Amino acid sequence: MKKERLKMLRDLDIVLFLAIIIATIFGLVVLKSATLSMSNSARIMKAQTVATLLGFAVLIVLTLIEYRIWKHFYIPIYALCIVLLAATLIKGSGASIGSQSWLKIGPIRFQPSEFVKVGLIISLSAYIENHYENINKPLVLLKVLVFAFLPVALILMQPDAGTAMVYIFFIIIMLFVSGINWKYIISAVVAGVAMLPIIWVFLNTYQKNRILDFINPAENATSSSYQFIEGRIAIGSGKLTGKGLYQGTQTQYNFIPEKQNDFIFPVLVEELGFIGGFSLIFLYGIILFRMYKISTESADVFGSLMVVGFAAMFLFHIWENIGMTLGVMPITGIPLPFISSGGTFQLINLAILGLVLSVSLHKNQRYY
């Protein structure tokens, strides 16, 4: 028994585990700097630290649990996801722009869509595995699409377009990896492009402004483009090595809106420079590459698709968050994994990586 356990532990992806630890420590250091001049700095850091410690406890537990057990519960998991999103629409609360993204149950206030990401990826992986051999049959594919996009529709109704974009991205990647015929992919792309004018009509004013600001940020430099311009100044002033931790003028004098959350990457680059920004991106690259390796080595379709879905989710968050601060993507409320403040987000990310590590740990085990 002892030999079997030691053999199983050798399958654990130690590189990924160490990269996660480094990323979370790096994130806490940068967040400390981002919040240093804020009146609620202590509360933010306490919440993030507690979420990180709790997240690692969840990560360890989920790593040790055989990941294949979750596919037997994919229907109740999916049902719970739909119930949470429906409850958010009915009793949810949100920001002043009118979104209903948060739900309060007793003293606990959380964002259900963050938990649903995990539930949907698990459920969709199991559902696709059950229909894997017939995925390109029109009726089967239609059922898969309805199954996948029902939660997206509920999120769009909140409305939360930024989160919906994350969902759409990882769903598309999971379907692509599942072997969807190219004729369906091309048809979907053509239909998507054709619907852009219709989508534009239904966008809220603030969403339209974000797209227009992306095209011409100088047009509204003192209003809707202010966040992007201040962030770009911070990034540019960091140069190669940065101004030093806790020494960034744009950061410490509070010129950057949401510097502890969506726009924390400019804080990092202003104070630690190109070297700091590149180090974080390199660290993300290691995490994503190890997730890719685990997906290719998985013993079953369920494990492989689940890891692919999680990797796609991380990739979109990283690309969109860093891209919007650099001006290559429109601004959305997408946080940066392990760096941005947010207890729910931190906890969910670490739980996700626990599931990924479970696929690594149990890949050579038989499951009945």
3-state SS class at 201 = helix
What residues have CB less than 8 Å from 212, skipping those under 6 apart?
219, 220
Q: What is the DSSP track for 16-67? A: HHHHHHHHHHHHHHHHHHHHTTSTTHHHHHHHHHHHHHHHHHHHHHHHHS-G
Q: What is the pLDDT of residue 368?
A: 47
pTM equals: 0.91
Q: What burial class does residue 195 get, using C-beta atoms within 10 Å of its C-beta: 0-12 exposed, 13-18 middle, 19+ buried?
A: exposed
3-state SS class at 108 = strand
Q: What is the pLDDT of residue 96?
A: 46
Cα–Cα distance for residue pair 237/325, rounded to 1 Å: 14
Q: What is the DSSP track for 249-281? A: HHHHTT-STTTTTTTHHHHHHHHHHHHHHHHHH
Cα–Cα distance for residue pair 122/4, rounded to 1 Å: 28
Give the rounded distance of the alpha carbon of 36 from its chain centre.
25
- Each residue's pLDDT, cut to its tens digit, for the chain (368 residues) gives 555 555 566 778 999 999 999 999 999 999 999 999 888 999 999 999 999 999 999 999 999 999 999 999 999 999 999 999 999 888 877 654 456 778 887 777 888 888 999 999 999 999 999 998 899 999 999 999 999 999 999 998 887 888 888 999 999 999 999 988 888 888 888 888 888 787 777 777 767 777 776 776 666 655 567 788 888 889 999 899 999 999 988 988 888 888 888 899 999 999 999 999 999 999 999 999 999 999 999 989 999 999 999 999 999 999 999 998 888 888 887 899 999 998 889 999 999 999 999 999 987 766 54
Q: Residue written as tokens 């992306």?
A: 214
Q: In terms of Cα–Cα distance, which of 309, 319, 254 is closest to 285?
A: 319
3-state SS class at 104 = strand
Q: In the chain, where are the structural domains located?
A: 2-361
